[in-house]
């Protein structure tokens, strides 16, 4: 059947924006003492409006706002009577993040004239010490991917300038040159410069200029003894490249020797405090309480920026795009459709006052997981009968930066690593409506990884679900081997799985507000979130009360290897 898609009208956009205003009138409960041992939508809403409030400023790992968020989690864990399981008898496990920023003294000159950083060139941080480019000769290496690129041996000790591909892959941006591939070919070069700065989108150049936060951990494999530093890496405008080469790029031949580069750049490191929150509910069976079922979520999000957008028109636009994507057989939106939506959004701005917003509140991602784990912890703590095995609750930091909190916890566990029998990860569990996901609704739930290490764990998930009064309908499509979204590799559970710990990743899926300033508490489905939380509670109980450890019957990955979905 052919699907007909109509342009979204102004009236529809206004209608889309109106529920936001109505939902924002929901009462804001601010007293955590009001929560009860029962897992309820009201308790989850109470917690969410605290945790994803504007005052948390997006909870970016390495910021004071993430420390504020984790202080709330620890205070709740203490109030619930959980045992601290972090560093030095406390609830926090400090994670050694560092911020790397471009040294403000960076200078590059050619023929005595300084190139303007950010306008004519942009360095790329590679998180390691790189070779100096002071006093090195420039050479044109040709267009990337061309058959007549500069031979690798002729790049030694030089700054290699690379043009963009003449026949770019249509699946990738035309300005893209793979950094790993360029470094592999020209490993002996002093530096590599890609002539792509003119064509880069602003968000990419902004990311290059933004200080990066990363993990500096002694458990991270160090470079091999005697390994040479990497080449410096930077991006150039076409005009800057021509100044370095000394001729127009169109007439430059591969191997053309250019000017001598003077100066250089470096990146400086400063600590960026971050922490996991770790708490334990002690099991009731003396023989089994030394084993743990881990329940986790990530406590961070992506912070804020200094460029406010109109919240309501942005959400209306993204809502319209999402509807068109879901209605299209190819899940694609045409340029014409996008243009029509923009026309209608402009009309919407004229009839509704703008509501500037610059905070990425992260209500669903992953405020939903964070407060759900708190709610589950309160249910366990308030129950008379405790599970046989212990439950360890871990709120990981820096998931958004690269799963660093979960990596650090599993590399430096605060309980013996082999005592963790399974890990249940909750990331974005507050949505999954019909207008969020194809097939979405009250019973929709995505599952990933439940049978990748343990058939028994996967079967147990299904058994616990079947016993529910209203079972979930599991969507396993994102668990498929080789799925392009690679969700198995993109959340905290994988840091457990790499050590052979069976995992289950639960999510209600993506939506129009993913990584947008519109991911706010008023758009969460609290009834659905309560049902998911109760299911995780019941699944953890089933795993904790087994008379044996969950059987691992699948091959374990290399804990230091790359994740493969």
Separation between Cα atoms, residue 303 and residue 517, nearest integer Å: 10
pLDDT at 17: 38
- Read off the pLDDT of each residue in 258-281 and give the average, rounded to a whole number: 96
Separation between Cα atoms, residue 320 and residue 346, nearest integer Å: 13
Phi first, then psi: give them for residue 391, nearest 5 degrees.
-110, 125
Separation between Cα atoms, residue 219 and residue 412, nearest integer Å: 8
Tell how strand 304-310 and strand 292-298 pair up. Answer: unpaired
**E strand spans, 96-154:** 97-102, 107-110, 113-114, 121-123, 137-143
Give 30's pLDDT tier (boundaries 50, 70, 90).
very low
Give 70's pLDDT tier (boundaries 50, 70, 90).
very high
Other C-beta atoms within 10 Å of 305: how many?
14
pLDDT at 67 over 70: yes
Separation between Cα atoms, residue 78 and residue 83, nearest integer Å: 7
Separation between Cα atoms, residue 54 and residue 520, nearest integer Å: 9
Residue 164 neighbours by CB under 8 Å, 6+ apart: 143, 144, 174, 175, 177, 194, 195, 196, 199
Q: What is the pTM of this model?
A: 0.84
pLDDT at 348: 67
Name which of 106, 101, 98 is nearest 132 in CA terms: 106
Separation between Cα atoms, residue 100 and residue 121, nearest integer Å: 18
Give 529's pLDDT tier (boundaries 50, 70, 90).
very high
pLDDT at 476 over 70: yes
Cα distances (Å, whole numbers) of residue 285 to 172, 191, 385, 551: 55, 61, 11, 20
pLDDT at 325: 83
Contact 308, 355 (CB under 8 A): no
- Read off the pLDDT of each residue in 1-13 and give the average, rounded to a whole number: 32
More confident residue, 370 or 307: 370
pLDDT at 219: 66
Contact 405, 274 (CB under 8 A): yes
- The answer to whether the bond into 83 is cis (omega within 30° of 0) is no
Cα distances (Å, whole numbers) of residue 197 to 117, 165, 429: 11, 14, 39
**E strand spans, 361-436:** 390-396, 420-426
Contact 295, 373 (CB under 8 A): yes
Separation between Cα atoms, residue 62 and residue 276, nearest integer Å: 12
pLDDT at 225: 52
Contact 50, 377 (CB under 8 A): no
pLDDT (tens digit per residue) in 197-246: 999 998 899 889 989 999 998 765 555 555 679 999 999 999 999 999 99
Instruction: Name the DSSP letter for residue 230.
Output: B
Give 354's pLDDT tier (boundaries 50, 70, 90).
confident
Give exposure, 2-26, as e/b (b: 16+ Cβ within 10 Å). Answer: eeeeeebebebbbebbeebeeeeee
Domains of the chain: 34-98+273-303+360-544 (3.40.630.10), 104-265 (3.50.30.30), 308-358 (no CATH)
Average pLDDT, the chain: 90
Separation between Cα atoms, residue 197 and residue 123, nearest integer Å: 11
Q: Which sign, positive or negative, has the C-alpha torsion 392, 398, 403, 405?
A: negative
- The token duo for 263 is 């100066």
pLDDT at 336: 84
pLDDT at 19 over 50: no
Separation between Cα atoms, residue 479 and residue 488, nearest integer Å: 7
More confident residue, 251 or 13: 251
Cα distances (Å, whole numbers) of residue 351 to 20, 313, 345: 16, 11, 10
User: Which of 129-143, 286-300, 347-361 has the weakest average pLDDT?
Assistant: 347-361
Number of helices (H) and strands (E), helices first, in the chain? 14, 22
- In sequence order, what are the beta bridge partners of 447? 506
3-state secondary structure 422-478: EEEEECCCCCCCCCCCCCCCCCEEEEECCCCCCHHHHHHHHHHHHCCCCCCEEECHH
pLDDT at 134: 97
């Amino acid at each position: 059947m052919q699907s007909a898609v109509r342009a979204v009208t102004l009236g529809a956009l206004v209608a889309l924006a109106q529920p936001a205003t109505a939902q924002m009138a929901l009462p804001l409960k601010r007293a955590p003492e009001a929560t009860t041992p029962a897992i309820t939508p009201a308790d989850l809403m109470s917690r969410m409006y605290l945790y994803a409030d504007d005052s948390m400023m997006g909870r970016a790992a390495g910021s004071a706002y993430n420390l504020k968020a984790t202080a709330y989690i620890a205070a709740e864990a203490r109030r619930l009577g959980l045992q601290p399981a972090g560093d030095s008898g406390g609830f926090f496990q400090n994670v050694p993040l560092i911020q790397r920023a471009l040294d403000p003294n960076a200078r590059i000159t050619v023929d005595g004239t300084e190139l303007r950083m950010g306008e004519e060139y942009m360095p790329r941080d590679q998180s390691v010490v790189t070779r100096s480019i002071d006093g090195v000769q420039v050479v044109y290496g040709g267009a990337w991917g061309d058959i007549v690129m500069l031979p690798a041996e002729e790049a030694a000790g030089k700054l290699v300038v690379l043009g963009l591909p003449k026949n770019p892959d249509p699946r990738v941006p035309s300005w893209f040159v793979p950094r790993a591939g360029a470094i592999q070919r020209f490993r002996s070069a002093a530096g590599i410069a890609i002539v792509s700065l003119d064509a880069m989108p602003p968000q990419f150049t902004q990311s290059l200029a933004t200080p990066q936060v990363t993990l500096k951990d002694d458990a991270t494999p160090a470079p091999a003894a005697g390994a040479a530093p990497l080449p410096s890496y930077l991006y150039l405008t076409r005009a800057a490249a021509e100044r370095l080469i000394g001729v127009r790029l169109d007439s430059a031949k591969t191997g053309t020797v250019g000017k001598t580069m003077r100066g250089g750049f470096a990146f400086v490191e400063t600590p960026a405090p971050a922490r996991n929150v770790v708490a334990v509910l002690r099991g009731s069976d003396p023989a089994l309480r030394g084993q743990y079922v881990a329940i986790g979520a990530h406590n961070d999000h992506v912070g804020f920026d200094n460029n406010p957008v109109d919240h309501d028109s942005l959400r209306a636009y993204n809502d319209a795009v999402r509807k068109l994507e879901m209605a299209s057989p190819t899940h694609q939106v045409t340029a014409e459709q996008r243009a029509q939506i923009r026309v209608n959004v402009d009309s919407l701005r004229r009839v509704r006052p703008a509501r500037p917003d610059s905070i990425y509140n992260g209500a669903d991602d992953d405020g939903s997981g964070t407060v759900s784990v708190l709610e589950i912890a309160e249910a366990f703590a308030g129950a008379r009968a405790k599970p046989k095995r212990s439950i360890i609750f871990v709120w990981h930091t820096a998931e958004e930066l690269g799963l660093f909190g979960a990596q650090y916890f599993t590399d430096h566990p605060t309980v013996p690593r082999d005592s963790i029998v399974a890990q249940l990860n909750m990331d974005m569990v507050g949505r999954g409506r019909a207008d969020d996901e194809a097939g979405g609704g009250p019973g929709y739930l995505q599952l990933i990884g439940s049978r990748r290490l343990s058939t028994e764990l996967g079967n147990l998930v299904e058994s616990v679900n079947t016993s529910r009064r209203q079972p979930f309908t599991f969507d396993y499509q994102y668990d498929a081997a080789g799925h392009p979204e690679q969700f198995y590799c993109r959340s905290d559970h994988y840091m457990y799985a790499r050590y052979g710990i069976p995992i289950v990743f639960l999510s209600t899926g993506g939506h129009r507000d993913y990584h947008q300033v519109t991911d706010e508490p008023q758009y969460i489905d609290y009834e659905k979130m309560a049902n998911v939380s109760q299911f995780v509670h019941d699944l953890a109980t089933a795993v904790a009360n087994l008379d044996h450890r969950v059987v691992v019957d699948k091959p374990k990955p290399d804990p230091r290897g790359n994740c493969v979905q």
